[in-house]
């Protein structure tokens, strides 16, 4: 059979989960990672990353809004997806999706963003005109009290929400890892390390994404990049990446040393069908290279300009590496037969419902949403609107 080597159970030849399911953990990972970066400033008082606080929240929201779309497009019957809310199956890891998603979207992210921006929204609803005014008016949800006392309450509630948000972000992405890690039929997925690896890789990708977006947007706005801020972010990225890489290597070494019945089959797959995406792109290009680049900024004295370039390069490579990691988990887990006797091939469509074009659109869509959000709710501290009649902004 075309694309099949060795023996596959006949129903295994066709891959079940496509590039869209690769995209899903990639997008939710960015959400969780961006939120955890934001929480650094809010809960752990890391002042240096303050310039990215609001941007990180908006980034998380933009990606979270798009995260369910690849799943929806993938379903055989998308019109039945609401059944997951109405009749969730208590033993299914996947049944939790809707609830975890809604909890994170509504109870954590939207609420935190609203509380954080409430003052700005109220001021803008009073200072703008026309349609914009109507939008901001609607966003105030009827609450226009921006007295010092009210803002203090906002701040306290926001702090509590962030505190709840951190374990929620862990839950959101750890849960995605559990969906894969709990499938005992598939030795490539079945490991208790999977949720933990997913959480750390999420933090890596989210931190890298916010760092890149901050640098890009600051450059586009012709402003100066706050080096103390990006240095701190890069430092966190470096340490998180080290933990992530250690966990992944622990998994790998464990598999090699244990060499259970699946090992020969998986090892062969990694050295053939997954060689480029796993060894070259994920490990060498997307993990070791950015770690070494980030390490160089930690130990060597490098000029600001060079550091910026290194961060930009390391950030881009990190994104490629984490996407490759998602690819290798999702696609790699379906390329070998559960008989361990053969391999199939993933043939990605181009202009199909689950094809490359859809994947590209879904990857770019969060950036478009983010652009809209940044326009509506400017995340830059210096753009914070002044209260009309007051002599200075707060």
Partner 1 sequence: MNLTRRHMLLLLPAAGAAWKYVLAGTPEAAPNYKLSEHWWGMLIDLTKCIGCGSCVRACQTENDVPEGYFRTWVERYHVTDYDIENPQVDSPDGGKKGFPPAKDPSGKNFFVPKLCNHCADSPCTQVCPVGATFISPDGVVLVDKTYCLGCRYCVQACPYGCRFINPTTNTAEKCTLCYHRIRKGLTTACCENCPTGARQLADLKNPSDPIHEFLKTHSVQVLKPYMATHAKVFYNGLDGSVR
Chain residues in the site for partner 1 (CB under 8 A):
7-12, 14, 16-17, 71, 74-77, 80-81, 83-84, 87-89, 91-95, 97, 179, 183-186, 333-334, 337-341
How many Å apart are CA 31 and CA 171, to the nearest integer?
12
How many Å apart are CA 132 and CA 49, to the nearest integer?
30
| Helix/strand/coil for 342 | strand
Angle between helices 53-66 and 356-376 (to 10 degrees): 140
Q: How far is the CB of 18 from partner 1 (least distance, A)?
A: 10
Taking the least distance from each CB to partner 1, the nearer of 93 and 393 is 93
Handedness of CA 316, 317, 320, 326 (dihedral sign): negative
Q: How far is the CB of 231 from partner 1 (least distance, A)?
A: 43
Residue 362, both tokens = 């879904």
Q: How far is the CB of 7 from partner 1 (least distance, A)?
A: 4
Taking the least distance from each CB to partner 1, the nearer of 184 and 301 is 184
Taking the least distance from each CB to partner 1, the nearer of 183 and 367 is 183
Q: Helical H runs in 182-303? A: 193-220, 227-258, 263-271, 289-299
Q: How far is the CB of 182 from partner 1 (least distance, A)?
A: 8
Residue 205, both tokens = 């990708």
Taking the least distance from each CB to partner 1, the nearer of 27 and 60 is 27
Taking the least distance from each CB to partner 1, the nearer of 179 and 234 is 179
| Helix/strand/coil for 336 | strand
Taking the least distance from each CB to partner 1, the nearer of 12 and 154 is 12
Q: How far is the CB of 177 from partner 1 (least distance, A)?
A: 15
Q: How far is the CB of 171 from partner 1 (least distance, A)?
A: 17
Nearest Cα neighbor of 234 from 140, 306, 341 is 306
């Amino acid at each position: 059979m075309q694309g099949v080597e060795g023996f596959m159970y006949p129903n295994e030849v066709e891959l079940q989960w496509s590039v869209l399911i690769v995209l899903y953990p990639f997008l939710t990972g960015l959400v969780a990672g961006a939120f955890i970066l934001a929480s650094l400033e809010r809960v752990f008082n890391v002042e240096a990353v303050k310039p990215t606080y609001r941007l990180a929240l908006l980034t998380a929201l933009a990606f979270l809004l798009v995260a369910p779309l690849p799943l929806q497009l993938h379903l055989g019957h998308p019109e039945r997806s609401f059944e997951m809310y109405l009749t969730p199956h208590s033993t299914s890891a996947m049944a939790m999706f809707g609830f975890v998603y809604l909890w994170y979207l509504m109870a954590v992210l939207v609420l935190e963003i609203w509380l954080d921006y409430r003052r700005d929204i109220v001021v803008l609803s009073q200072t703008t005109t026309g349609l914009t005014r109507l939008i901001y008016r609607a966003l105030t949800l009827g609450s226009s009290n921006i007295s010092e006392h009210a803002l203090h309450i906002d701040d306290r509630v926001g702090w509590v929400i962030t505190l709840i948000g951190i374990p929620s972000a862990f839950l959101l992405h750890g849960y995605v890892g559990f969906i894969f890690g709990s499938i005992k039929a598939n030795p490539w997925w079945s490991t208790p390390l999977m949720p933990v690896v997913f959480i750390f890789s999420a933090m890596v990708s989210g931190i890298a994404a916010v760092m890149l977006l901050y640098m890009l947007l600051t450059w586009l706005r012709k402003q100066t990049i706050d080096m103390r801020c990006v240095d701190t972010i890069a430092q966190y990225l470096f340490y998180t990446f080290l933990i992530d890489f250690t966990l992944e290597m622990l998994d790998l070494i464990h598999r090699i040393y244990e060499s259970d019945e699946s090992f020969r089959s998986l090892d062969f797959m990694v050295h053939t069908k997954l060689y480029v995406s796993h060894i070259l792109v994920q490990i060498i290009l997307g993990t070791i290279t950015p770690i070494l680049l980030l390490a160089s900024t930690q130990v060597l004295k490098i000029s600001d300009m060079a550091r910026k370039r290194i961060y930009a390069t390391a950030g881009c490579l990190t994104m490629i590496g984490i996407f490759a990691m998602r690819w290798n988990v999702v696609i790699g887990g379906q390329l070998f037969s559960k008989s361990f006797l053969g391999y199939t091939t993933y043939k990605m469509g181009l202009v199909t419902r689950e094809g490359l074009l859809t994947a590209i659109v879904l990857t770019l869509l969060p950036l478009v949403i983010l652009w809209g959000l940044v326009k509506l709710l400017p995340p830059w501290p210096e753009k914070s609107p002044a209260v009309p009649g007051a002599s200075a902004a707060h």
